[in-house]
């Protein structure tokens, strides 16, 4: 894989049994390391390959090198931004940022297999698609597979992403494939998703499920590689809670924390939800040179400034705001951030909460600290995922690979301090960013009551089959999909 090419194991043939191993800079490709009772060392991209063989295993830290000679890790990736105490001061240069991103996308067009782009209609995936369309002609990939770019989107019927993606695809002239799923389809796939993604993190499972379902359909069309937009929100402070960053220093430190944690969240999702079906995902926003360019910008320029008309990720939007040769329509270029799990349809998360509330009792949740002492679930949804996870991966080592702590709209625990009201509204959905998201949760409602959520969902959204607890066969509806989409 291009984005994980620097994860490797090097055997020293001069000294039997001695070796070195390294992981890519950001952790785009998952990697685990384990130790057997006999002293053997195991390395794998999937945890499930280690849990039966190793006495202890853990995440292989991104940007690190392991030496069997020393039996320890050393960090090889040392970019200037890694030290959070150093605040960058380079003036914002929109053309330099644009060129760096275009270079990152072009690099990922090196392929000898059928490919496409994941297009949600949001800023990041739309820019990936727009730059790919602009530079595809003349590449070896175009010579072999044609200049018509394939784009893919998934969502519930009538979801925000489907509408926006369709508009972007029409504007760019891509051959667009739109996949529909229902809440029940997603619920039926939850166990498979947790098995493949190897996590019980709520945000990751919410977003991985539609991506998992979509990847199956994409692979069935003969596509083997997709280019995706992960990483932008961490680099540019695109999550809606960044609106409340108190100063540029805190803003920058939070972006550093988010990038360093990507291997446990979005990178894990993008890689494992796709590779479960043999599909490769490439992420140009996490190109090392592009990250260095973007993270050198004075964070004052990245901050949300309503008084100046600057919304989240303004520096990225401005870099591609070309009046003469527009990359995207203005309203797409300046569309508000939607987290993937929200954009596929707001009733998706509501449906998950309702399903969890129907399967986890109040008593079970009240005893959670005794059943799950580490990363104790505080909601019925989190408890439900944890039950499934520990059925597949009961080892303590496996449990410790998943991050924990409070979060609002995908924030780190530290950023919750930015707004006092967030501490009472801890939910990773973007709609938890009260006062920021255009479709934020009702501030007067109590989000801690799973029973209220289940009741409200059943009344307003849930199909009768879900409300009654019945199950429907797992299906995915596809529209605008040609009979023979791509052939190798």
Local structure of 241: helix, strand or coil:
helix
Pairing relation of β-strands 175-180 and 150-155? Answer: parallel
| Whether 238 contacts 410, CB under 8 Å | no
Rounded Cα distance between 429 and 407, Å, is 9
**Residue 198, CA atoms < 13 Å, CB-side half-sphere:** 28
Contact present, 437 and 240 (Cβ < 8 Å): yes
262 assigned to a ligand binding site = no
**Distance (Å, rounded) from C-alpha 346 to C-alpha 156?**
9
Q: CA-to-CA distance for 284 and 228, rounded, in angstroms?
A: 7
Q: Is 127 annotated as a binding residue?
A: no
Q: Which of 326, 322, 318 is nearest to 302 (CA)?
A: 318
Q: Which of 19, 72, 66, 24 is nearest to 45 (CA)?
A: 24
154 labelled ligand-binding: yes
Q: In terms of DSSP H, where are the helices of 179-238?
A: 183-197, 202-220, 232-236
Question: What does DSSP assign to residue 4?
Answer: G
- 3-state class (DSSP) for residue 317: helix
- Work out the angle between the directed axes of helices 266-275 and 202-220 (0-180°, nearest 10): 30
- The answer to the question of whether 309 is labelled as a binding residue is no
Binding-site residues, in ranges, read 118, 154, 228-229
Binding-site residues for ATP, in ranges, read 118, 154, 228-229
């Amino acid at each position: 894989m291009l984005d994980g090419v620097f994860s490797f194991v090097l055997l020293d043939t001069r000294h039997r049994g001695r070796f070195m191993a390294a992981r890519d800079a950001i952790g785009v490709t998952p990697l685990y390391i384990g130790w057997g009772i006999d002293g053997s060392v195991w390395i794998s991209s999937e945890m499930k390959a280690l849990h039966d063989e190793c006495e202890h295993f853990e995440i292989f830290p991104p940007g690190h090198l392991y030496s069997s000679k020393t039996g320890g890790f050393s960090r090889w990736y040392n970019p200037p931004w890694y030290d959070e105490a150093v605040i960058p001061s380079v003036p914002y240069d929109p053309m330099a940022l644009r060129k760096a991103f275009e270079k990152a996308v072009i690099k990922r067009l090196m392929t000898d297999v059928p490919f496409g782009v994941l297009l949600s209609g949001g800023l990041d995936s739309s820019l990936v698609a727009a730059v790919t369309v602009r530079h595809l002609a003349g590449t070896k990939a175009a010579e072999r597979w044609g200049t018509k770019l394939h784009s893919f989107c998934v969502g519930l019927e009538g979801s925000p992403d489907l509408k926006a993606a369709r508009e972007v695809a029409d504007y760019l002239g891509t051959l667009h494939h739109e996949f529909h799923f229902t809440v029940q389809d997603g619920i039926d796939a939850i166990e498979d998703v947790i098995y493949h993604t190897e996590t019980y993190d709520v945000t990751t499972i919410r977003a991985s499920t539609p991506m998992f379902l979509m990847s199956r359909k994409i692979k069935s069309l003969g596509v083997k590689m997709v280019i995706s937009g992960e990483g932008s929100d961490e680099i540019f402070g695109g999550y809606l809670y960044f609106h409340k960053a108190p100063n540029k220093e805190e803003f920058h430190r939070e972006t550093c924390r988010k990038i360093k944690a990507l291997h446990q969240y979005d990178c894990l999702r993008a890689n494992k939800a796709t590779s479960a079906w043999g599909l490769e995902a490439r992420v140009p926003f996490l190109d090392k040179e592009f990250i260095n360019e973007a993270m050198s910008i004075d964070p004052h320029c990245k901050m949300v400034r309503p008084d100046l008309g600057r919304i989240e990720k303004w520096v990225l939007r401005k870099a591609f705001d070309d009046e003469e040769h527009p990359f995207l329509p203005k309203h797409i270029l300046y569309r508000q951030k939607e987290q993937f799990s929200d954009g596929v349809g707001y009733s998706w998360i509501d449906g998950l909460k309702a399903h969890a509330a129907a399967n986890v009792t109040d008593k079970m949740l009240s005893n959670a600290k005794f059943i799950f002492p580490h990363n104790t679930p505080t909601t019925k949804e989190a408890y439900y995922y944890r039950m499934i996870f520990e059925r597949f991966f009961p080892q303590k080592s496996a449990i410790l690979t998943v991050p924990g702590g409070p979060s609002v709209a995908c924030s780190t625990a530290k950023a919750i301090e930015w707004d006092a009201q967030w501490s009472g509204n801890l939910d990773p959905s973007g709609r938890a960013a009260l006062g920021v998201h255009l479709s934020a949760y009702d501030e007067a409602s109590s989000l801690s009551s799973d029973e209220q959520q289940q009741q409200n969902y059943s009344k307003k959204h849930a199909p009768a089959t879900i409300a009654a607890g019945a199950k429907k066969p797992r299906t995915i509806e596809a529209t605008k999909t040609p009979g023979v989409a791509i052939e190798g």
